[in-house]
Amino acid sequence: MKYEEGMQRLTEIVAKLEEGGLPLEDAVTLYSEGAALAAECEKELNHARLKIEGIGNASDTSTEES
């Protein structure tokens, strides 16, 4: 799942949980799905951050060598 899709689904889950009125079992299921999505989105963000830092570090090295 792409980051944007995960965040969209996570937003939907939060809205449903905030509305309330769900049976406990449904709320727990949604919460579990949301927790897994949040972890996956965080993993994707960290991966992107590492890529960006790697590009920045490579750029810094090439600038210093010039």
Buried/exposed 28-51: b ≥16 CB within 10 Å, e otherwise? eebeeebeebeeebeebeeeeeee
Give the pLDDT score at 17. Answer: 97
Q: How many folded domains does the chain comprise?
A: 1
Give the pLDDT score at 45. Answer: 95
Q: Where residue 62 falls among pLDDT bands split at 50, 70, 90?
A: low
Give the pLDDT score at 57. Answer: 83
Q: Give the model confidence (pLDDT) of 8-42 as tens digits.
A: 999 999 999 999 999 999 999 999 999 999 999 99
Structural domain boundaries enclosing 30: 3-65
Hey, what are 50's tokens?
A: 């590492």
